[in-house]
Amino acid sequence: MLQKKYLLKFMNNKKTRIVIAGAGFGGVYTYKQLHKHFHKSKNVEIILINETNYFLFTPLLHEVATGSISPENIIEPIRKVLRCCLSDLHIGTVEKLDTKNKTIYTKKEAISYDYLVLALGSQSHFFGTPGAKEHAFVLKTLTNAITLKNHFITQIEKATKEPDPKKRKQLLRCVIIGGGPTGVELATEAADLLYSTFGKYYPKYIIKDIEIFLLQKGEQLVPMFPKGMQEKAKKMVKKHGITILFNTKVTKVTKDAVLTTNKKYAKIDTHTAIWTAGVAPKQIPTNEDVLEKNKKGCIIVKPTLQTMTDDQVFVLGDMAYCIDPKTKEPLPALAQVAVQQGKYVANNIVARIKNKPLTSVSYTSKGLLISLGQWMAAGQIAGLQMSGRIIWWLWRSVYVSKLISWQKKFRVIVDWTINLFSPRDISKF
């Protein structure tokens, strides 16, 4: 009954309604671009739906998980983004889409739309690996990051009271599954926390028992990056004392072990398995199979980012399978791609409303950057590959510039500055 009343209320509204589902990079930048066009208009209404009331800066989750940044500093209240026009925000998880009746459903609401933007992002993909979903940590939400940091602290505290050397090593062994950017950045930051910071607070015999494994199914780390960055990543990961297992697949994860195809390390005893091996687009049940998808579950879109079957539904970011008109290759699942797509989606919705031609997306890479621990990063900018402290500084500058408010930018800079001169924070939340 609540859904029906809410829907009727919306249907009686004569304004053109644009609904954005998801307030990640794609959703927020779509809103900001639409706001530039319509903030003085009385004929257009913009609604934003999100699971939380905040925007999460996901590229820095690994730094929260390893005590480098305070959790509250990588989130921004969505109301701050909307406050100019007091646009409507709905907190809830999208549960269903009815394209026939132009309605999107959360648990408590049915929201009608004239134009819909799907920007819900991705979720961890376990490829059917037994036990992975139940026993492995993931790094997709702020809660995930806080939980992982607390777990690191809990494990070492338990280890200080454990007299059995074998059980103690199991408590102190960390296995990161997946050698992509998230896995590599997390591994090097975890090494800084576990070896350097914990080394200042815990006995030496405890620190000596710490082990970090990074498992990669292929022959290179960060395989989507240029070869020079791959080699630099491998070198720095090893320099951090991390054991890399290439050509290694995980066959099962239990509460106290990771089973692999590696003959030497067929079973790795650990209470800390972290899954960074892959993501899949979030799925929305629909009234019928109207959204064409590829094998990975991404919604196939036109170069204008409209779905193949409904021109009033736009999809971007990790949910979209979009071929770059220039390279004829799929656009990568990167934050900078979602940001640029958001602007195209907004401009194309404006064009639709004004009966003007739509524009095909044209992605321009701003470069590639990856953090490799304290004082070290690697990158490729304008075709030039670099690494070292300058790139580390540039990496941090770029990320700070992408934070929404000056307050959060300032706080992150303060966190990073403090970490240069003192150990990371090891408080449990």
* Confidence (pLDDT) at 4: 47
Q: For residues 64 and 1, which has the higher predicted lDDT (pLDDT)?
A: 64
* Res 10 pLDDT > 70: no
* Confidence (pLDDT) at 383: 86
DSSP state letters, 220-283: SSSTTS-HHHHHHHHHHHHHTTPEEE-S--EEEEETTEEEES-STTSEEE-SEEEE-S-EEE--
Of 187, 155, 167, which is closest to residue 269 (Cα–Cα)? 167
Average of pLDDT values for 178-182?
Answer: 97
* Confidence (pLDDT) at 377: 95
Average of pLDDT values for 128-146?
Answer: 98
The Cα–Cα gap between 53 and 75 comes to 10
Mean pLDDT value across the chain = 93
Identify whether the C-beta of residue 256 lies closer than 8 Å to the C-beta of residue 170: yes
* Res 12 pLDDT > 80: no
* Res 2 pLDDT > 80: no
Percent of the chain with pLDDT over 90: 87
The architecture in CATH of the region 132-277+368-421 reads 3-Layer(bba) Sandwich (3.50)
> How do the domains of the chain map onto residue ranges?
2-51+92-124+280-353, 132-277+368-421
The Cα–Cα gap between 67 and 326 comes to 41
**CATH class of segment(s) 2-51+92-124+280-353:** alpha beta
The single residue listed with the structure tokens 């969505």 is 78
* Res 8 pLDDT > 50: no
Identify whether the C-beta of residue 151 lies closer than 8 Å to the C-beta of residue 288: no
* Confidence (pLDDT) at 86: 61
> For 332, which DSSP code?
P
Best mean pLDDT range from 2-11, 218-227, 290-299: 218-227
CATH topology of 2-51+92-124+280-353 equal to that of 132-277+368-421?
Answer: yes
Identify whether the C-beta of residue 371 lies closer than 8 Å to the C-beta of residue 395: yes
Residue 373's contacts (CB-CB under 8 Å, 6 or more residues apart) are 188, 189, 191, 192, 236, 240
The Cα–Cα gap between 107 and 105 comes to 7
Identify whether the C-beta of residue 179 lies closer than 8 Å to the C-beta of residue 244: yes
* pLDDT band of 289, cuts 50, 70, 90: low
What's the full length of the chain, in residues? 429
Instruction: Say whether 11 sits in a helix, a strand or coil.
Output: helix
Burial degree of 46 (CB within 10 A; 0-12, 13-18, 19+): buried
Give the range among 8-22, 52-66, 74-88 with minimum mean pLDDT. Answer: 8-22
